[in-house]
Amino acid sequence: MLTPTPLMGLVTGFWSFKTFAAAVELDLFTRLRDGRTLTVAQAGSELGLPERPADLLLAACASLGLLEKDGDDYRNSALAEEFLVRGKPYYFGGQVAYCDQRTYLPWHRIGEALRSDKPLTWDPSTQESMFDTADPQMLESFWGAMYSTSIFTARALAGAIDLSPYGKLLDVGGGSGAYPIELCRALPSLRATVFDLPHVCTIAQTNIERAQLSDRITTRAGNFLTDTTLPGGHDVVLFSMILHDWDEATNRALLAKAYEALEPGGRVVVSELLLNAERTGPAPAALMGMNMLVETEGGRNYSDAEYEQWMSGAGFTDVRTVRFDAPGANGVVIGTKP
């Protein structure tokens, strides 16, 4: 029998997110690292919560698969232990905090964005883009989110395609440096350059130094939108979670710049949440497209068929798509300069 139960799941989706975000804000999962357990009373005492809220929070987190319970004791699930403990290599809490603090309230005005076709998280009349800001708190939040999403996505990409024949990678709009860091960890012979705005390069450099990869990863300041060319001397040009920020004309221009920057035999790699050709899903890609409405002027999520067409139009050959599973991308589209 058809029931409205799936619709109730959509209606209450924010309950799950806000419960999750509150637990991350309280550092619940970091407190439970390495197999530590807490009862409701102990959790309430450590978190500064009365008994009833502590009980409800722990029960809700268990229902979401974030905690496990044995008797009266709660512990991290394997998922929480791997990705929600602060300081772990693939800590995902930055993405949770960013969405909670930066995009959750603007999403309440999604109807306004649909009617106006204008972003909600920044003002196009005073800023060139959402990345044009001197607000240190916003920068820290955004790039922390991008790093936590990108670092595991880069790991998945490294396992999905063979980059071992290539020696020098240019990460266009490389932001926090997560992709080069993870790819260089996986490929000892690879060297990389992060190409981004000057203040973003400073953030990337900090992460590169922390990863002890300063001898293999460099930064180069520039603006991939306004600079007429991309830095040369690389045999792979990577656009990781970048092209969904811009319209078709901008993306075609960027792919053309990549083609000109590469030597024959070089590759362009586009890593994204890819829509299917019919533009009916998958849901993470389609909903990320809605988030582009909230956060960008012309961005949207595109299908692999669209990227393949644009790459072919720029002159790339042997264009193909490789799928994988990761939080920031579900595949890559690859082209070779003949």
The pLDDT, as a whole number, for residue 279 is: 95
79 and 222 share one domain: no
The pLDDT, as a whole number, for residue 135 is: 64
Contact at 8 Å (CB) between 310 and 255? yes
Q: Give the CA count within 13 Å in the CB-facing half-sphere of 254.
A: 25
Note whether residue 35 is domain-resident.
yes
**N- to C-terminal Cα separation, the chain:** 57
Contact at 8 Å (CB) between 154 and 183? yes
The pLDDT, as a whole number, for residue 22 is: 98
286 and 181 share one domain: yes
Contact at 8 Å (CB) between 66 and 77? yes
List of the chain residues with pLDDT < 50? none
Looking at the chain, the number of H-run helices and the number of E-run strands are 15, 9
Catalytic residue, candidates 108, 199, 234, 244:
244
- The domain boundary, picked from 83, 113, 135, lies at 83
101 and 24 share one domain: no
202 and 315 share one domain: yes
53 and 112 share one domain: no
CATH of the domain at 61: 1.10.10.10
The pLDDT, as a whole number, for residue 15 is: 98
Q: If you search the block for the tokens 């232990």, which residue do you land on?
A: 81
199 is catalytic: no
Note whether residue 46 is domain-resident.
yes
The pLDDT, as a whole number, for residue 124 is: 86
Give the number of other Cβ atoms within 10 Å of residue 61's Cβ: 24
Q: Give the CA count within 13 Å in the CB-facing half-sphere of 82.
A: 5
- The domain boundary, picked from 48, 83, 118, lies at 83
101 and 46 share one domain: no
Residues of the domain holding 11: 5-83
Rounded distance, CA 85 to CA 83, Å? 6
Cβ neighbourhood burial of 88 (10 Å; 0-12, 13-18, 19+): middle
123 and 18 share one domain: no
- For every residue of 58-79, which 3-state class applies, written as one string? HHHHHHCCCEEEECCEEEECHH
Number of domains in the chain: 2
21 and 145 share one domain: no
Note whether residue 88 is domain-resident.
no
CATH of the domain at 326: 3.40.50.150
The pLDDT, as a whole number, for residue 123 is: 85
pLDDT tens per residue, range 153-176:
999 999 999 999 999 999 999 999
78 and 97 share one domain: no
52 and 107 share one domain: no
| Angle separating helix axes 51-63 and 13-25, nearest 10 degrees | 120
Q: For residue 304, give the H/E element and its range.
A: helix 304-314
Note whether residue 112 is domain-resident.
yes
114 and 64 share one domain: no
Q: Which residues of 287-323 are buried (b: 16+ CB within 10 A; e: fewer)?
A: ebbebbbbbbbebbbbbbbbbbebbeebebeebeeee
The pLDDT, as a whole number, for residue 138 is: 67
The pLDDT, as a whole number, for residue 111 is: 97
β-sheet bridge partners, residue 239: 270
- The domain boundary, picked from 83, 117, 148, lies at 83
43 and 154 share one domain: no
Three-state DSSP at 292 gives helix
